[in-house]
């Protein structure tokens, strides 16, 4: 789905990490890893360049916290780094979603984000970054306005948060 050499940003995602997709995209050398490029940049002097690169890659690959039975995608984020790409700045978006994330409706999705995902992400963030996570931004995607731009890969197994 992603051509070699494409600029790809992978959002922080246990689903991508556990599936090996994050590692494949960011370390294989087949793609222009925006995440790897951003790590090499100076956050103090190149902050805007980092955010531009994260916001408008050729592809954004990530996951969401919930998918409603009517097809809405719900993402929660502390930094919001993946959200510009999710909403349309990236040329293509691919969401990899575990089967356990399907919920009946938006209230159930929002409850899942706050009561299930945030505590698990909090634990992960403390281990990875030494500080807790936060639910600073919540995005609800109800439809894609550009046909073919977004793809949801719904896995038949439970994976990720």
Concatenated DSSP letters of the chain? ---TT-EEEE---HHHHHHTHHHHHHHSSSSEEHHHHHHHS-TTTSHHHHHHHHHS-SEEEE--SEEETTS-EEEEESS-TTHHIIIIISSEEEEEE-GGGEESSHHHHHHHIIIIIHHHHHHHHHHHHSS-----EEEEE---SSTTSEEEEE-SS----
CATH number of this structure's domain 7-154, picked from the four choices 2.60.120, 2.60.40, 2.30.30, 3.40.50: 3.40.50
- For the chain, the structural domain boundaries read 7-154
Q: Write down the pTM of the prediction.
A: 0.93
Q: Over its length of 161 residues, how does the chain's per-residue pLDDT go in tens digits? A: 999 999 999 999 999 999 999 999 999 999 999 999 988 999 899 989 988 888 999 999 999 999 999 999 999 999 999 999 999 999 999 999 999 999 999 999 999 999 999 999 999 999 989 999 999 999 999 999 999 999 999 999 999 99
Maximal C-alpha separation, the chain? 45
């Amino acid at each position: 789905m992603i051509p070699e050499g494409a600029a790809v940003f992978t959002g922080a995602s246990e689903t991508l990490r556990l599936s090996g997709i994050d590692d494949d995209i960011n370390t294989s050398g087949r793609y222009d890893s925006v995440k790897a490029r951003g790590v090499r940049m100076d956050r103090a002097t190149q902050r805007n360049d980092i955010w531009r690169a994260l916001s408008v890659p050729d592809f954004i690959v990530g996951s969401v916290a919930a998918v409603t039975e009517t097809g809405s995608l719900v993402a929660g984020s502390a930094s919001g780094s993946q959200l510009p790409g999710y909403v349309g700045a990236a040329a293509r978006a691919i969401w990899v979603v575990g089967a356990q994330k399907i919920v009946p409706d938006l209230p159930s999705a929002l409850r899942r984000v706050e009561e299930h995902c945030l505590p698990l992400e909090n634990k992960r963030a403390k281990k990875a970054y030494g500080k807790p996570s936060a639910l600073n931004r919540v995005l609800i995607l109800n439809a894609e306005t550009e046909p073919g731009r977004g793809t949801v890969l719904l896995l038949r197994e439970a994976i990720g948060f």
